[in-house]
């Protein structure tokens, strides 16, 4: 494998790894947002009783 092929392969691997991390972070953000919404709804439910 020549140097150019190795560099391109390494760059592709890095891009795939970074995109996977971005998707994971985005998913965690959605989960946290849903948890906050559910907690707020539970507080409102208890407060209205």
Decide: helix, strand or coil at residue 47. helix
Among 35, 39, 37, which residue's Cα sits nearest to residue 27? 35
Summarised one tens digit per residue, pLDDT across range 1-49 is 689 888 999 998 988 888 888 778 888 889 999 999 999 989 888 888 8
Predicted local distance difference test score (pLDDT) of residue 1: 63
Predicted local distance difference test score (pLDDT) of residue 28: 86
Residue found by looking up tokens 């140097």 in the block: 3
Predicted local distance difference test score (pLDDT) of residue 16: 86
Side-chain half-sphere of 18: how many Cα atoms within 13 Å?
Answer: 6
Enter the DSSP assignment of 48: T
């Amino acid at each position: 494998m020549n140097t150019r092929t190795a560099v391109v392969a390494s760059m592709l691997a890095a891009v795939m790894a970074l995109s996977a991390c971005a998707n994971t972070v985005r998913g965690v953000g959605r989960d946290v947002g849903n948890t906050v919404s559910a907690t707020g709804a539970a507080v409102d439910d208890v407060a209205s009783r």
